[in-house]
Structure 1
Amino acid sequence: MIDILEHINAIQRQVSKTGEEVRVTLRRTYQAEVEDVWDALTDPDRIRRWFMPITGELKVGGSFQLEGNAGGEILECEPPDRFKVSFGGPASLVEIRLSPGAGDDTTELQMDHSVPADFGGPSGALYVGPGWDGALLGVALYVEGKLKETDDPQQMANSPEVIEFNKASIREWVKVLRDSGLVTPEELRAAAEASANQFAPGTPVDDYL
């Protein structure tokens, strides 16, 4: 069983707009050493255990493709501290930073996803944020030994538990966006509806506002 509230509260979320860039930031602590988290994020055999199959030349200058999902280019890599990739297009950039946590054998992860402001503005956080929340949940379950070898993360993504997690995630991102002051009520409602259709189909938008 997934402790939905625990995993929702484990993630710190932020959306910001600077000049012509919109940035979504997520932070989470893992009960695992930096080297182990790094390996889970960069080894294809381990990535498929918590996310989805990945192919490509996984080194700087190479490209990657997630099965049935986005691909991109590997722009920067400094093991085991940080890497930066394009994701779904050259102007959509994802950077991961890892550092030792405050406790023994813990890791602090920071993820930044930045896009040009004209890609949809700050309300775009509701298009990507819940998906990244789910990815960070998968990492946690994997590195903390809570996934069985037979578990299929793509099947789990459609399970009732994960759908409930997604609903809670959408509510959190709605709060973040509302508190940011960067979107109008109309923009927030439209983004929440699109997010619900993607991550929790069949739920009315008023459940999140």
Structure 2
Amino acid sequence: MNEILDQITEVHREVGVRSVAGEEARTVLLRRTYDAAPEDVWDACTDPERLRRWFLPVSGDLVLGGHYQLEGHAGGEILRCEPPRLLRVSWLFGENPGFSEVELRLAPDPSGGTEFVLEHTAVVPPDFWGQFGPGATGVGWDLVLLGLGLDLQGESVGDPRAWEASDEARTYMTRSSDLWGAAHEASGAPPEVAAEAARGTTAFYAPPRPEAD
């Protein structure tokens, strides 16, 4: 259990804001190093068979300018694709999604591994941001980076649905939520605002278990 939980500390997190077409967009950025070559990390993130193994099944026209769809999740257009260093896609849910893009950047690390940077930029409704802050997106991406890291080591959590209901997963998501609260505060949010948003995120991802009769 500790090996998985320790991976939460391998990630550096940043929260920001930028203007996109005159609208205020929020950004969450995750950075960590994997002990694998950039080509291997790229393949794990772009090969449909490998993605199915540690993330979700993906379908579509998986070329520059094509469209993809993750099963039961986001879909969008492949906006930039420069193997093995840069991938940018739109990241859309529902019938009328707002602006949302994900960019993946890979670079050789001096240690011999790969520096992995993922940045998600989206226009977020103010009430949603006020309730959850960056953790709503950030905790999900922490889970993705965990799955990728385990796959690159030839490991997995087993059945993802079963694992996400486990005490180990609940602890992982709670720690992730707290760390996104800290990143939120570091970005300039008042401490009480960041803390309240982190509590909202924790309640969403790891709600209290029902008491036994």
Shorter-chain TM band:
0.7 to 0.9
Give the alignment's Cα RMSD to 1 decimal. Answer: 2.2
| Shift in alpha-carbon separation, 1:167–1:146, aligned structure 2, 3 A | same
Asked whether 1:194 is paired with 2:203, we answer no
Asked whether 1:70 is paired with 2:74, we answer yes
Q: Which AA in structure 2 matches 1:98?
A: L
| Residue deviations 1:95-134 (CA, integer Å, cap 9, x gap) | 0000011112x11000110112656558541110000000
8 Å CA contact 1:72, 1:90 repeated in 2: no
Taking structure 2 as the reference length, the TM-score comes to: 0.84
**Candidates 79, 82, 87, aligned match of 2:83:** 79
| Shift in alpha-carbon separation, 1:173–1:24, aligned structure 2, 3 A | same
| Shift in alpha-carbon separation, 1:154–1:100, aligned structure 2, 3 A | farther
Equivalent position of 1:35 in the other structure: 39
Q: Which AA in structure 2 matches 1:80?
A: P
Give the superposition deviation at 1:188: 4.6
Deviates more, 1:175-184 or 1:117-126: 117-126
Equivalent position of 2:175 in the other structure: 168
Q: Which AA in structure 2 matches 1:129?
A: G
Asked whether 1:152 is paired with 2:159, we answer yes
Structure 2 Cα separation of the partners of residues 172 and 164 of structure 1? 12
Equivalent position of 2:111 in the other structure: 103
SS of aligned partner of 2:144: helix
8 Å CA contact 1:49, 1:152 repeated in 2: no
8 Å CA contact 2:13, 2:183 repeated in 1: yes
Structure 1 Cα separation of the partners of residues 199 and 116 of structure 2? 29
8 Å CA contact 2:27, 2:121 repeated in 1: yes
Q: Which AA in structure 1 matches 2:117?
A: Q
Equivalent position of 2:51 in the other structure: 47
Structure 1 Cα separation of the partners of residues 194 and 185 of structure 2? 10
Deviates more, 1:36-45 or 1:82-91: 82-91
Give the superposition deviation at 1:11: 0.2
Aligned pairs for 1:17-36 (under 5 A) are 17-19=17-19, 20-36=24-40
Give the superposition deviation at 1:75: 1.0
Equivalent position of 1:12 in the other structure: 12
Taking structure 1 as the reference length, the TM-score comes to: 0.85
Give the superposition deviation at 1:180: 1.9
Pairs aligned (count):
199
Structure 2 Cα separation of the partners of residues 152 and 107 of structure 1? 27
Give the superposition deviation at 1:195: 1.4
Structure 1 gaps of 5+ residues are 204-209
Equivalent position of 1:206 in the other structure: none
| Shift in alpha-carbon separation, 1:42–1:90, aligned structure 2, 3 A | farther
8 Å CA contact 1:51, 1:154 repeated in 2: no
SS of aligned partner of 2:72: coil
Give the superposition deviation at 1:23: 1.0
